Amino acid sequence: MPPPTVLIPLDESAGESRVEPNAETIIRNLAHELRQPLSALESIAFYLDLMLTHEDPKTRKQLRRLRQLVQQSDWAVSNAIVTAGVTPVVLNPINLADLVADCATSWAAEHSLQVGLVRPDRFRVQLLDEEQIRGLMRNVLSFIRRGSYASIVVSASESCAELVVEAEEMLIPEHDSLAMTAIQKVVGIHRGKVSIEEGPEDARRVRVTLPFRF
């Protein structure tokens, strides 16, 4: 004989006093829940890519595409976290020119991008959140079409450092997209400015200015 069903009444007064989670808490929990399966998917795709024979290029191409989609999903989560201000800002003395060069070199190798980098021989360090600046660079470089050419110039005046990324094959997303809002958030945290400009011959240009001192 099955046990009797017990109905537990809803305590409406308790429900009214319950603290609802805010947006930051929801995003933090969502990021934690999503990154575990995304990491597992990337590991599986990498393993299958190693196990495939060279005689199966179509499947290998689809696996590479799968890994790219996993990375894009992870970027979307990271941008949401930055935009919501969930993670604390960690400022350290950073050489922006060195950081940009490292980001550009890694991205160019992974995405078949040709990059021309111009930077001064000497560059002052400034207080920056390294992870957030890396995220900013990743977002800006993701606007550039794979296999195309990009020009990156890092310069400095007495009061600020300037980063200019220009490419003909640059697709700028809507201003309220996660990538753009994350860029604006990072630049705002560093009390800088960001602008999208038209370059010569239909080229697009992203200009970021970051002050040396707050």
Full pLDDT tens readout for the chain, 214 residues: 556 665 545 555 544 445 555 666 666 666 667 767 777 777 877 777 777 776 677 877 787 788 778 777 877 888 888 888 878 899 999 999 999 999 999 999 888 888 999 998 888 899 999 999 999 999 999 999 888 899 999 999 989 999 999 998 888 888 778 899 999 999 999 999 999 988 777 788 999 999 997 5
* Per-residue pLDDT, 19: 54
**What confidence tens digit (pLDDT) does each residue in 153-175 have?**
999 998 999 999 999 888 888 87
Q: Which amino acid is at 172?
A: I
Residue in the block written with tokens 């537990």: 8
What are the distances in angstroms from CA 189 to CA 53, 63, 79, 183? 48, 37, 14, 10
* Per-residue pLDDT, 24: 66
pTM of this structure: 0.73
Nearest of 135, 125, 39, 42 to residue 87 by alpha carbon: 135
Both tokens of 5, joined, read 């069903």
What are 131-134's contacts with CB under 8 Å, separation 24+? 131/90, 132/82, 132/89, 132/186, 132/189, 132/190, 133/94, 133/96, 133/99, 133/186, 134/99, 134/103
* Per-residue pLDDT, 17: 46
Q: Which residues of 111-123 are buried (b: 16+ CB within 10 A; e: fewer)?
A: eebebeeebeeeb
Gap between the Cα atoms of 214 and 210, Å rounded = 10
Domain 92-211 has CATH 3.40.1390.30: no
* Per-residue pLDDT, 203: 82
